[in-house]
A and B are shown apart, each in its own frame.
Chain A
Amino acid sequence: MGGEFGRRRNIRVELKNVRVAYSGSRKPAIENVTLSLDSGFVVITGPNGAGKTTLLETMLGLLKPYKGEAYLFGVNTKSRKVFEVRKLCSYVPQDFMKPPFESYTALDVIKLGFASLKWDKNAEERVKKVASDLGIRNLLNTPFGKLSGGQQQKVILCRALARNPEALFLDEPFSSLDKESRRVLCSLLKEYAVGRLVVAVCHDVEAVKSFADRIIRMEGGRVI
């Protein structure tokens, strides 16, 4: 199904008057958000608690709006069909579970990203190429648990990019990277975003604003 949905539908993400609240909380985490994203490098920024991660997870359908509608590649995120279109997406969360996977190599962890796709020679070649671009080619056979936080984040990034997604969602991808690695990654994402969608949550917008095609500023759960 590759880029079938992506080619057919230019709008990859669409939110209409979306309101999302966490269980047990009366106050919505995001409120009255309306936006549509097609392609380019989009940065979501704002202070802590502004609702940046909530917005990102709502775009992916990991959080469901209790008011308004959210669409991913034209599919309502409340529909079960969303699992199909998510195959066109990749996600890099800020934190991820890893125990008891310390003994898995970096390559094993990357392979897990192909659970809903096909793991073949092409995928293997793509992994090698992206791993070289990110400077972790020599770490592919290292146990994941023995890597530093920054290296682990690069492995998850490699997993995301090697899936060759139509839409890439990243939550604070630069948080544990040094200045040079951040610059390299920004250029890579900017290049990747041509004809595709890359959405990154970023607390420190100054570091990435020269690369961004669009900046979404959030405060108190609203887009400002």
Chain B
Amino acid sequence: MTALLSGLFSGALCGAIGYHVERINATSLSFAVAHAALAGASIGMVLGVDITVSAMFFSISSAAVLGLLFSRIHWKDLLSMVFFSFFSALALLSVYLSTTNVLATSSVSAVLWGSILAVDTFKLIMLIVSFTAFIAYLFTFRLQIDSILFDRNLAEAEGVDVYFHTAILLLFAGTAIALTLRITGGFLVFALLYNPVASAIQLSSNAKIQLALSASLGAFSALAGVAVSYVLDLPVGAAIAIVSSTVLILTLLKCVLLAH
């Protein structure tokens, strides 16, 4: 039950955050944040601390740094790639330097491809709190966020603090990635961040429906992935990634068929 609820909330949270991150063109930044979480989890594993805590520390710190730099530099994508390669190197180094004892633990599988068993009640509560906080943020700043999504330059010219909201969205992305990493693993967390929004964009041209679809498809993919993983005894991260990719392929097929 904990695994199913975790799947439901992490899928919906990643789907909703992924939608906003994509619409503000910060996809590459969140890509860097996700790899920071992976590096944090790997380092946490080597040091013997809770991998969610270390992943959260790394992802939130990198999100804060990238959020601050977002307003000051023009070469954001290049910076994201620098962060990506640096954090990937840190993650791989940590695994390489791990002792045989560490490599034999279930933490390694949780970091790499996720594990249903790695999710406990405390992490589920953290997921629910993060989900509720994100919904509250969306309701409180709906007009400002919509204004940025409509036209970033125009919103900035009208006095909306676009950098503050970008930083907040990246911080939420960092938190969601760190919490979801336990379920999907570090390499497959993108399946829940970007596949649902890519499917939603194919299915509707209405902003509100796209957001609702992205969150729903994220939740569906995570739930179905957990179920497939349980029934077929497969790694849960891979199962979620395959389900969400299948959903995306089906929506693309639907668009192609409708176009003909």
If the complex has contacts A100-B207, A101-B207, A102-B205, are A116 and B151 also in contact, measured as CB distance less than 8 A? no
Q: Hey, which chain A residues are within 8 Å of B74, CB to CB?
A: 22-24
Distance, CA A103 to CA B159, complexed state (A): 25
Write the nearest CB–CB distance from B207 to chain A, whole angstroms: 5
Q: Are A93 and B205 in contact (CB under 8 A)?
A: no
A60 partner residues in chain B, CB cutoff 8 A: 157
B86-94, B108-116, B140-148, B178-186: which lies at the A interface? B140-148
Q: Take A96-B154, A101-B207 as given contacts and tell me if A89 and B201 are in contact as well, using a CB distance cutoff of 8 Å.
A: no
Closest to B142 in A: A115
Q: In the complex, which residues of chain A have a beta carbon less than 8 angstroms from the beta carbon of B160?
A: 83, 115-116
Contacts of B159 in A (CB 8 A): 83-87, 89, 116-117
Instruction: Write the A156-192 contact mask toward B (1 if CB under 8 angstroms, else 0).
Output: 1000000100000100000000000000000000000
Does chain B have a CB within 8 A of A55?
no
Interface set of A (CB-CB < 8 Å, partner B): 22-24, 57, 60, 62, 83-87, 89-91, 93, 96-104, 109, 111-117, 119, 145, 156, 163, 169
Bound-state CA distance A90–B153 (Å) is 12
B residues less than 8 Å from A101 (CB atoms): 149-150, 207
Which B residues lie within 8 Å of A86 (CB)? 156-159
- B244 within 8 A of partner (CB): no
> How many A-B pairs fall under 8 Å by CB?
87
Complexed CA–CA distance, A117 and B210 (Å): 27
A98 contacts B153, CB within 8 Å?
A: no
Residue interface mask B160-181, A partner, CB < 8 A = 1: 1100000000000000000000
Other contacts beyond A60-B157, A102-B205: 4, CB < 8 A: A62-B153, A83-B159, A97-B152, A115-B158
Say how far B142's CB is from chain A's closest CB, in angstroms. 9
Chain A residues near B161 (CB-CB < 8 A): 83
Secondary structure type dominating chain A contacts: loop
Interface pair A62/B158, CB less than 8 Å apart: no
Q: Is the CB of B157 within 8 A of A115?
A: no
Q: How large is the interface on B (under 10, 10 to 19, 20 to 34, 35 or more residues)?
A: 20 to 34
Please give, as numbers and ranges, the residues of chain B lying within 8 Å of A169 by CB-CB distance: 157
Give chain A residues whose Cβ lies under 8 Å from the Cβ of B146: 112, 115
Whether the pair B150, A109 counts as a contact (CB closer than 8 A) is yes
A62 to chain B minimum Cβ distance, whole angstroms, is 6
Q: Check B147–A115 contact: CB distance below 8 A.
A: yes
Question: What residues of chain B lie closer than 8 Å to A112, measured between beta carbons?
Answer: 143, 146-147, 150, 155
Max count, chain A CB within 10 A of own CB: residue among B149, B155, B159, B205: B159
* B148, closest chain A residue (CB): A115
Complex partner residue of B205 from A99, A109, A119, CB under 8 angstroms: A99
CA–CA, A91 and B206, complex, Å: 25
Residues of the B chain whose Cβ atoms lie less than 8 Å from the Cβ of A114? 143
- Is B150 touching A98 in the complex (CB atoms < 8 A)? yes
The answer to the question of B75 belonging to the interface, with a C-beta cut-off of 8 Å to chain A, is yes
Asked if B201 and A93 sit within 8 Å, CB to CB, the answer is: no
Residue in chain B with minimal CB distance to A22: B74
Q: Give the Cβ gap from A86 to chain B, nearest Cβ, in Å.
A: 4
Quick check: B144 and A116 within 8 Å, CB to CB?
yes
Tell me which of B158, B201, B208 contacts A91 (CB under 8 A): B158
- A191 and B205 alpha carbons, distance in the complex (Å): 39
B106 near A: Cβ within 8 Å?
no
